[in-house]
C-alpha cells in the first residue's frame, strides 16, 4: 500500500510515469474542447492538464486518501511549493470531473491489448437463502445458482472479472 510510512517505488520512475500521462492528457484535453467558465483563469497556479495528470497518477498508484496523495505529491513531485493546497486541488479535481472521466475512458480504450489476463467469477448474492424462493426483485436478470467452491445455493448474479497485467 502506498499510504504507509515508506513508499518503495523509485522517484525517477514515478516522474517518468507522470511525464507520460501528462503528454497523453495534454493531447486529449485539446480534443475534448471543454471550456470551463472560471473567473480569473489567468491567475491559476497549475494548468488543468497538470491537475488531471496528477489525479490520474494517484489513481494509478492506488492511493485512496486524498490527504495522503496530496502530501506525497508535494513531497516528491512538486518540492518547490508550486503545487496547489489540498482543498484547492480537490475542488479543481471535482470541477474537472467530466474531463477526468473522459481521459480515463480513453486510457482504458487504449490499453485493451494485454499479454496476460486472469478471468475469475464469483457469486453475487442479493438476498439470504431463506428468502430466495419468494424474492421479487431482479427476477428478469437474477436467478438461483450453486457455488461449488462454497458448497451453497444463492439467489443473485454471477460476477465475472478479468484482470490484466
Q: What is the pLDDT of residues 41-71, one digit of tens each?
A: 777 778 888 888 899 888 888 888 888 888 8
16 and 72 belong to one structural domain = yes
| Cβ-defined contacts of 55-63 (< 8 Å, 24+) | 55/93, 55/96, 55/100, 56/21, 56/25, 56/100, 56/103, 56/104, 56/107, 57/14, 57/17, 57/18, 57/21, 59/104, 60/17, 60/21, 61/2, 61/9, 61/14, 62/1, 62/2, 63/2, 63/3
101 and 22 belong to one structural domain = yes
Q: Domain containing 75: what range?
A: 11-110
Q: Does some domain include residue 5?
A: no
Which domain-ending residue is among 91, 110, 129? Answer: 110
Residue 55 contacts residue 86 (beta carbons within 8 Å) = no
Q: Does some domain include residue 17?
A: yes
103 and 157 belong to one structural domain = no
91 and 131 belong to one structural domain = no
23 and 76 belong to one structural domain = yes
100 and 41 belong to one structural domain = yes
* Dihedral, 41, 18, 9, 65 alpha carbons, nearest 10: 40
Q: Does some domain include residue 6?
A: no
95 and 125 belong to one structural domain = no
Q: Does position 6 have pLDDT exceeding 60, yes or no?
A: no
Q: Does some domain include residue 127?
A: yes
Q: Does position 1 have pLDDT exceeding 80, yes or no?
A: no
SS3 at position 93: helix
Q: Does some domain include residue 48?
A: yes
Domain tally for the chain? 2
Which domain-ending residue is among 68, 87, 110? Answer: 110
* pLDDT more than 90, % of the chain: 1
Q: Does position 109 have pLDDT exceeding 80, yes or no?
A: no
Q: Does some domain include residue 1?
A: no
pTM of the model: 0.61
Strands of the 143-147 sheet, one edge to the other:
117-127, 152-164, 143-147
- What are residue 144's DSSP bridge partners? 155
* pLDDT more than 70, % of the chain: 87
Amino acid at each position: 500500500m502506498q499510504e504507509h510510512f515508506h513508499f518503495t517505488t523509485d522517484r525517477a520512475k514515478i516522474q517518468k510515469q507522470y511525464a507520460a500521462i501528462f503528454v497523453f492528457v495534454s493531447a486529449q484535453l485539446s480534443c475534448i474542447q471543454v471550456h470551463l467558465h472560471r473567473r480569473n483563469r489567468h491567475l491559476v497556479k497549475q494548468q488543468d492538464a497538470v491537475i488531471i495528470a496528477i489525479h490520474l497518477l494517484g489513481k494509478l498508484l492506488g492511493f485512496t486518501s486524498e490527504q495522503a496523495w496530496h502530501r506525497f505529491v508535494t513531497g516528491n513531485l512538486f518540492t518547490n511549493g508550486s503545487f496547489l493546497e489540498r482543498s484547492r486541488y480537490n475542488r479543481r479535481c471535482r470541477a474537472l470531473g467530466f474531463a477526468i472521466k473522459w481521459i480515463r475512458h480513453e486510457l482504458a480504450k487504449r490499453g485493451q491489448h494485454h499479454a496476460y489476463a486472469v478471468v475469475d467469477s464469483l457469486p453475487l448474492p442479493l438476498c439470504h437463502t431463506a428468502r430466495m424462493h419468494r424474492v421479487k426483485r431482479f427476477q428478469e436478470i437474477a436467478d438461483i445458482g450453486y457455488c461449488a467452491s462454497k458448497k451453497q445455493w444463492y439467489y443473485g448474479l454471477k460476477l465475472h472479472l478479468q484482470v490484466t497485467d
